[in-house]
Structure 1
Amino acid sequence: MKPLFFFLMLFFWGTLPAQQVIKVACVGNSVTAGWGLQNPGQESYPAQLQHLLGNGYAVKNFGHSGATLLKKGHNPYYRTAAFQQLLSFRPQIAIIHLGLNDTDPRNYPNYRDDFIPDYNWLIDTLKKQNPQIKIFICRLTPIFTGHSRFLSSTNEWYNDLQKKIEQVAAVRKLPLLDLNEPLHNRPDLFPDVATLHPNVEGAAMLAQTVYKHISGNFGGLQLPLAFTDNMVLQQEQPIRFWGIANAFQTVSVRFGHQLKTTRAGFNGKWQLIFSARKASTRPEIIEIKSTHRSILLKNILIGDVWLCSGQSNMYFSVRESTGGDSLIRKADSTQPLRLLKLTPFAETNNRSWTASELSKANSLDFFSGSWQPHRSEAVASFSAVGYVFAQKIQQEEKVPVGIIEIAVGGSPLISWVSRNALQNNPLFEPALNNWRQSDYIMQWCRERANVNLANAQNKLQRHPYEPAYNFEAAIEKLSPFPVKGILWYQGESDAENAALYEKLFPVFVADWRAWWRQNLPFYYVQLSSINRPSWNYFRDVQRKSLNVIPNAGMAVSSDLGDSSDVHYKNKIPVGLRLARLALTQTYHRDGLPAGPLFQTMKRINNTVEISFRYANGLHASNNKDITGFKILTNEGVFVPTQARAHQDKIYISIPRHLKAIAIAYGWEPFTRANLVNKEQLPASTFLEYFK
């Protein structure tokens, strides 16, 4: 018998059974039985669990395909031969994974109130056979959105049953074994039409999960993605350390003059929380220890942490940017500025990925990086927009600043939204199915993904353009590492469907804020100018998003765009404009946060008066006539018109022969409209109709 298991059984279960061989019963439905596997006797999760546990255990598979936990269900487990065999087996350990089939319309609507009593009946029946039995209650493995009833019923009923299972475990004081967690973000392992049954690799992950909980061996002390040397911890928020250790191991964290200890739970998870602290430029050491391992994190600062994310214009490096050479030369490691670039394992450029890259993408082991001091080599490869922002905040606020970059060239917005947010939204749930042929994803993105995945053998191969992928591979692993706020530069890969983006963007922002459990400041960049149809419409949708997303700001970049290159070179002004938003709205500095934003307009006879937010000192950027305004007529024609600024408002005269229905500004994909305020910040594109 393994020493660790011996210890765990004494600590957690009480007296060990006298037998040398411990009998383990895997109770369940088709997932347990191994439905769809070529050789369930060798490939099902109970069979693989037997291999992991070894000769000290006898693992038996008591799965019955289609079984319901409900005794009045269409195929109740207690009436099956597997159940009778289970009772005869008299196991010392039972792993109960039932409930998936109870989401069937024949079962849940009629007998939902029986689910908890019937679960308790099963537990009591097993305990009568063996009062010393140790029972694990399992959260259900996932049902993915390809299921035929997912939207109509299954998803809602499935979520309700998960809560009922958690309630059973809590009331009966039984360990809750989460079989959803290891597979909830792995649809590539569920190739069956019903999207219920994991393949061999998925069964192996279930076996590993059960093995860890039985043995207590979770691989020892491990820390989340963002915990490395040189990191910055968010000031004025509780400082939270968390991770994995072997079950019930003591974990200690020494931070400053404080030492705190805890025990990992039976699921290996642990957490320690230290009081919030003010910013400090004095480097500190954090020592995290468990029974057999010690991790020393060095050169730690406390300050403000910002996350910058998006697609290629956020990924665009300091090295590539106009003026970047000077920024790289001036990088000084004594300046309290730290950078964490989470780099994709494979670029989404125009080539087919290797087998290793495809495997990394499927396993979600796709981003890597560690905190780096403020040195030239780290600065050179970092996001130019993110770096300039961070440097400006550090210089102005005089506190350490940490900036985290997670960006993927060409990635659509939907790839950054959590699976949970998408599948619980009827408008966006269909996007999760057959995404490489879906109009939820722009054609260019689908074509590039097809190039990258040309060598893929798995028809469900993962990719960073897939809905929810970047969230699952990066953001889910990073959150809830505390941050001050979020910077976002993305939309080029969604510009062809502005109407859809308008609905998804608020969902996305709310989703991230929910994961961080904070109403985080959210500052984003409006797309630049380029000769691509629809970009003016898209910029206007981004502007309108400010009306529905609180605690947000938008930096205009239309004046910087290149007519033929989506990657215009001068990113320094964009970073500075984002910094201005943060300094005025988050740090409450005086000044204008952004360029003129349309507020209201009224028509008096043939004169239109337009009011703006941030309108102080309205004028033309080149000190010439103001250009960029147009009148939209009732015949659908945009007619250029003159505009004049007076007392921080714009006035337009409408010719008597025109029947105007709207006023537009900067209403071309590529525009050099020139309205700015006293800070030389450009006005946003807009189209507004008369009321």
Structure 2
Amino acid sequence: MRRRCGAGLAAIAAVLPLWVQAEVTIASPFTENAVLQRGLPVPIWGKADPGEEVTVEFAGQKKSVAADADGRWVVRLDSMTASAEPRALRVTAKESELSLANVVVGEVWICSGQSNMQFAATSVPEIRVLERKAKRIRTFEVKRTVAFEEQDSCEGKWVDKHPNSAVAFSFAYFLEEAGDVPVGIILSCWGSSSIEAWMPRDMTETVPHFKTMMEEFDSDAKTRERITSILEGTKPWSRNDDIFLRRQSNILYNAMMHPLAPYACRGLVWYQGERNTQSMFGMLEEPWFSRNSGMLKYGDTLKQWVQRYRKEWGNDEMQFLMVMLPGYHKEMATGPKLGAEHPASHSWAWMRESQLKALELEHVGVANTIDLGDVKNIHPKDKLPIGKRLALLAARDTLGLDVVASGPVMKTVEAGGDHLVVRFEHASGLTTTDGEAPTGFWLADDSAKWVEADAELKGETILLRSSDLAKPLYVRYAFAGKPKVNLVNGAGLPAYPFRTDTFAP
């Protein structure tokens, strides 16, 4: 059966091609073994002959609609409760019928990003042991490809099995355990991709540097010809061709994300940013794949991206969970070379600050990973804590469970002459993992010269001073490529990085 997959409800008619067919079809995210989202209206869409009445039946609901002049049909199933009972979703029209078996209702999440989202579960021993205990987790993995225009179909199918993504699987595992409901993961990710790769073209209207990037892409005949040649050439692609495709802008979104909307889901987990850390200020001339937001523009770009995706899905409350980039250090030519722990280095600290700007929007969470990672390995294996922390955020913010999901967050910093006092939120049971004094705090005055602080834990506050500063004014915490940190709350969740100065990088 030929399948087509549409865009958001408001845009389906504009993007689906005109054709005449005798057989009713359903959009490609709907296959056997699918998980439908509980607690929300569930749009089901597809194609039929213009004017033909199409009926959708599932879980006691029966909805009918006439296909429009383009042959497009869309129905909305009413909100449903979670159910692991396998049931058939039936679609009938005058001349044809299709039935999808083993469909359940639960929590559906899209997991997207670049290589650390793609990182295989089979490569992490402590996640592999979860396989024999995993239950009620299903996966739809989108085939990795690109397209010049927004596509209305994608390749993939639902399977009654967990995803082979370490982060997506561990997130699903702990979410299923917390919610006691089936969990469906739509995995759409590709290593080396920038955020711009996952941006629809119309974001050129709101993101100036992306407008420049797309204007350059449109005028680059050589690149477009190579992309066409790869897509029309032999499979599988060579490694060089594969990397070339996934480092482009916009065309991953066209092929791998646009076709999924408006499939009902609770939210999207986003583990991406490494590609955008290759510069502080963005839009490098060389290498070509570093011509993107850079770290300082990433935060505003990320907020625009979240809002645009919510529009695509027609859901202003669509949840977004970001994975903060973990510890890693690479010297950057634009700043002083002061090492992995110094807060004045041009490091991933600036990207983490940008990622945290997403919290300015509602229905957004950021999983803190500042205590994780590897100073020399951009693909660390400590993915299990990331999945756990994402699941805690989802359990609190989408399942409504009373759980501690956040580590300490700086609330106020008070000056006291020769010292500063830091107060935190989410600080119940504030302690250190090793029983030693808190680490990772640095102080400065208006000279902007940073010195390591002597930190003292006092209840749920931290007192900071340094013999090198008579009157400290500013503090940076865990603001480095790979800081040494040990500050956690009673739930064992690490304190979030922060800075109180406004010095330019």
| Fold match by TM threshold 0.5 | yes
Query: Which letter does structure 2 place at the counterpart of 1:428?
Result: F
**CA root-mean-square deviation:** 2.9
1:579 lines up with 2:361 in the alignment: no
1:567 lines up with 2:354 in the alignment: no
What is the aligned counterpart of 2:143 among 308, 324, 343? 343
Q: Which has the higher contact order (CA 8 A, sep 6+)?
A: 2
Q: Is the 8 A contact 1:606 1:656 kept in 2?
A: no
1:682 lines up with 2:494 in the alignment: yes
Q: Is the 8 A contact 1:629 1:643 kept in 2?
A: yes
Query: Which letter does structure 2 place at the counterpart of 1:372?
Result: V
| Residue 289 (structure 1) aligns with | 92
Q: What displacement does 1:275 show? A: 2.1
Structure 2 Cα separation of the partners of residues 463 and 436 of structure 1: 15
| Residue 532 (structure 1) aligns with | 330
What is the aligned counterpart of 1:371 among 154, 158, 167? 158
What is the aligned counterpart of 1:556 among 349, 356, 368? 368
Larger radius of gyration: 1
Alignment of structure 1 residues 1-40 onto 2, 5 Å: none
Q: What displacement does 1:286 show? A: 1.2
Structure 2 Cα separation of the partners of residues 387 and 219 of structure 1: 40
Structure 2 Cα separation of the partners of residues 468 and 689 of structure 1: 35
1:505 lines up with 2:339 in the alignment: no
1:486 lines up with 2:268 in the alignment: yes
| Residue 384 (structure 1) aligns with | 166
1:279 lines up with 2:82 in the alignment: yes
- Change in Cα spacing, 1:566 to 1:690, as seen in structure 2 (3 Å) is closer
| Residue 44 (structure 2) aligns with | 241
Structure 2 Cα separation of the partners of residues 424 and 629 of structure 1: 37
- Change in Cα spacing, 1:549 to 1:437, as seen in structure 2 (3 Å) is farther
Q: What displacement does 1:428 show? A: 3.2
Structure 1 Cα separation of the partners of residues 491 and 38 of structure 2: 31
Where in structure 1 do 4 or more consecutive aligned residues deviate above 6 Å? 363-366
Query: Which 5+ residue runs of structure 1 have no aligned equivalent?
Result: 1-176, 183-208, 346-359, 439-448
Q: Deviations over 1:291-327 (max 9, x none)?
A: 3332110001111111111111111121112313312
Secondary structure (helix, strand or coil) at the match of 1:343 reads coil
Question: Normalised by the size of structure 2, how large is the TM-score?
Answer: 0.82
- Change in Cα spacing, 1:528 to 1:344, as seen in structure 2 (3 Å) is same
| Residue 25 (structure 1) aligns with | none
Structure 2 Cα separation of the partners of residues 454 and 343 of structure 1: 18
Structure 2 Cα separation of the partners of residues 325 and 466 of structure 1: 33
Equivalent pairs, count: 448
Q: Is the 8 A contact 2:418 2:465 kept in 1?
A: yes
Structure 1 Cα separation of the partners of residues 231 and 127 of structure 2: 42
| Residue 168 (structure 1) aligns with | none
Secondary structure (helix, strand or coil) at the match of 2:73 reads strand
| Residue 25 (structure 2) aligns with | 222
| Residue 597 (structure 1) aligns with | 409
| Residue 49 (structure 1) aligns with | none
Secondary structure (helix, strand or coil) at the match of 2:191 reads coil
- Change in Cα spacing, 1:281 to 1:265, as seen in structure 2 (3 Å) is same
- Change in Cα spacing, 1:567 to 1:253, as seen in structure 2 (3 Å) is same
Q: What displacement does 1:681 show? A: 1.0
Q: Deviations over 1:197-243 (max 9, x none)?
A: xxxxxxxxxxxx5xx4xxx6157422222101111111122232211
- More deviation, 651-660/586-595: 651-660
- Change in Cα spacing, 1:372 to 1:237, as seen in structure 2 (3 Å) is same
Q: Is the 8 A contact 1:240 1:274 kept in 2?
A: yes
Flag the structure with higher helix content.
1
Structure 2 Cα separation of the partners of residues 217 and 684 of structure 1: 56
Structure 2 Cα separation of the partners of residues 523 and 623 of structure 1: 31
Query: Which letter does structure 1 place at the counterpart of 2:37?
Result: Q
Structure 1 Cα separation of the partners of residues 398 and 60 of structure 2: 31
Question: Normalised by the size of structure 1, how large is the TM-score?
Answer: 0.60
| Residue 465 (structure 1) aligns with | 247
Q: What displacement does 1:588 show? A: 2.3
- Change in Cα spacing, 1:541 to 1:240, as seen in structure 2 (3 Å) is closer
| Residue 542 (structure 1) aligns with | 355
| Residue 320 (structure 1) aligns with | 123
Structure 1 Cα separation of the partners of residues 182 and 193 of structure 2: 31
Q: What displacement does 1:367 show? A: 5.2
Q: Is the 8 A contact 1:543 1:686 kept in 2?
A: no
Query: Which letter does structure 2 place at the counterpart of 1:509?
Result: V
- Change in Cα spacing, 1:407 to 1:664, as seen in structure 2 (3 Å) is same
